[in-house]
Amino acid sequence: MKAILLIHGPNLNLLGKRDAAHYGGATLEDIEALVKSESEQLGYAMKAFQSNHEGALIDFLQKESPNAAGIIINPGALTHYSYALHDAIADAGLPAVEVHLSDINSREDWRKISVIAPACVAQVRGKKEEGYREAVGMLHSHLSKKT
């Protein structure tokens, strides 16, 4: 069974303790359980990883992508400047969905720019943890069209 890689960037380990108005009340463990359940219902395993370090996220992508079906990523603040993470996603050759708990387009100007989005097939923003459920469905739909 191919896996969906669920990747969380900097500060997402603090979900449930961070600003609930922007990020909701779900913890990282809650989101991982949600994505695992949704993924398994569609016939995928799920492998989650979180790091506050850009290089660790890239190392995980490079190691795990050969055995994966797709990627769901919330790059956190790396969204706005990490061309290295963009390149790692593109190099993986897998469909990826970028997820943001808050609506980055209605926040500070610098948050409106995603250098990650061009490497992804879709972006979900502003739907709190439900955005992850939507991302699993989008990824599955994209993968189903390829077969």
83 is catalytic: no
Q: Which residue has the tokens 């009340």?
A: 25
Catalytically annotated residue among 8, 86, 100, 140? 100
Burial of 118 (0-12, 13-18, 19+ CB in 10 A): exposed
Catalytic residue among 23, 86, 132, 140: 23
Is the C-alpha dihedral spanning 45, 50, 56, 61 positive or negative? positive
81 is catalytic: no
What tokens does 134 get?
């939507």
Catalytic residue numbers read 23, 100
